[in-house]
Amino acid sequence: MFKLTFLGAGSTVFAKSLVGDLILTPELENYEVALYDIDENRLNESYTMLCNINANCNGKATITKHLDLKEALRGAKYIVNAIQVGGYEPCTVIDFEIPKKYGLRQTIGDTLGIGGIFRALRTIYVLEDMAKVIKEVCPNALFINYTNPMAMVTGYLEKYLKIKTVGLCHSVQDCAKGLLETFKMNEYIDNCTWKIAGINHQAWLLEIKDKEGNDLYPIIKARNLESKGSYNKDWDLVRLDMMKRFGYYVTESSEHNAEYTPWYIKDKYPHLIDEFKIPLDEYPRRCVEQIKRWNELKKELVENKNITHTKTHEYASYIIKAIETNSTYRIHGNIMNTGRFIENLPEEACVEVPCLVDFNGITPCYVGKLPEVCAAINRTNINVQILTMEAGHLRSKD
């Protein structure tokens, strides 16, 4: 029926989510999932796990594994990209430790700033080599990118490598739900509508309404002004502060957004770190914990022959289902703004907007203008993204 190639399939937990979702999609059958990774041991672990899930869930996929990129990609209709170039050591450690010597602190470092820029530069050069192979053996494939920094990687693939690409992130799906839970408005979670647009990790909840079309923002904003003890705000203080000041809630987490603006991590105002509960060096800390937990997870995922799967809210399987069955599905995707889907952001920007998926592929939707305050904040990030992509393309430090 079709072939999907998974690049970076050694990401076992993520491979379970995406391929497991495909296996649990009954409308899809007789397709191949080709797993590719440069780490043979991790590749074998993911292969074993997914074969077990396929068997235990009555899946109709053929799972193959490859160390040869060309063979993995040959004839692919869909490509899922989840590579991380350089891994935790040495690259993530370097991304954090060198800036720290000069007083520059980060939380996640995968999207913007020093960590995001260098992660982008080392990733796009690997993707350049991959793009050559794609153009040779599967030139019409849809490239589904999950690798961060999302805007820079997706933008580079589209603008400079001319690969048909959509970038996906799960922060949009969780945005409204998390906000409603914070302010004890759970009764609206399953029957509200919302509109989100902007850029990856900094898209804006422009509207949130109940099933009758009533605006929920006034209730949310009023509760946001109440004392901290009234609601569990501590996990999300940066985003809630931004909403209080600018009027709109932003998609990605507070630890992310603390480093996308110049207001919260400041060497002359160290009290802000405690005040907003900003977890400096959070990403390296998570990496260390994940490495420690892998032996336990390995028993659960790889050595468990009875493993099954519960479908997630990741978009990939729904996109493929919509295209293969000519049904319609709505996602939020990262695409170049060449159609001026967001009027007051640059054409050179990679934006995150609603998209419709059907047999014809992915069609971005027109958003119009963002509130100017939102667009202004987005532009500060976009400037870095555009310059990083250009620097990578030109091989120029200037």
Q: Known catalytic residues?
A: 170
Residue 4 CB partners (closer than 8 Å, separation 6+): 22, 31, 32, 33, 34, 76, 77, 78, 79, 80, 320
DSSP β-ladder status, 3-7 and 31-36 = parallel
The CA distance from 147 to 185, in Å, is: 33
Report the C-alpha gap between 321 and 289 in whole angstroms: 35
Please list the alpha-helical segments (H only) found in 302-366. Answer: 316-325
List, in sequence order, every residue forming a beta bridge with 355; answer none if it has no partner.
Answer: 331, 364
- 389 token code pair: 């992509």
**Contact in structure between 312 and 17 (CB atoms under 8 Å):** yes
Distance, in Å, from the CA atom of 293 to the CA atom of 284, rounded to the nearest integer, reads: 14
Phi, psi for residue 126 in degrees, rounded to 5: -65, -40
Nearest C-alpha neighbor of 206 from the set 188, 219, 193? 193
Residue 368 is encoded by which pair of tokens? 């119009």
DSSP 224-245: HTS-GGGTT-GGGHHHHHHHHH
Angle between helices 40-56 and 282-301 (to 10 degrees): 50
C-alpha distances in angstroms, 276 versus 56, 57, 243?
Answer: 46, 44, 14
Are 79 and 166 in contact by the 8 Å Cβ rule? The answer is no
User: Two tokens at 319?
Assistant: 């996109």
* Closest listed residue to residue 370, CA positions, set 398, 348, 342, 389: 342
Task: Give the residue among 284, 204, 275, 263 at the shortest CA–CA distance from 234.
Answer: 275
Q: Report the DSSP pairing between strands 350-358 and 361-364.
A: antiparallel
**Cβ atoms of residues 264 and 274 within 8 Å:** no
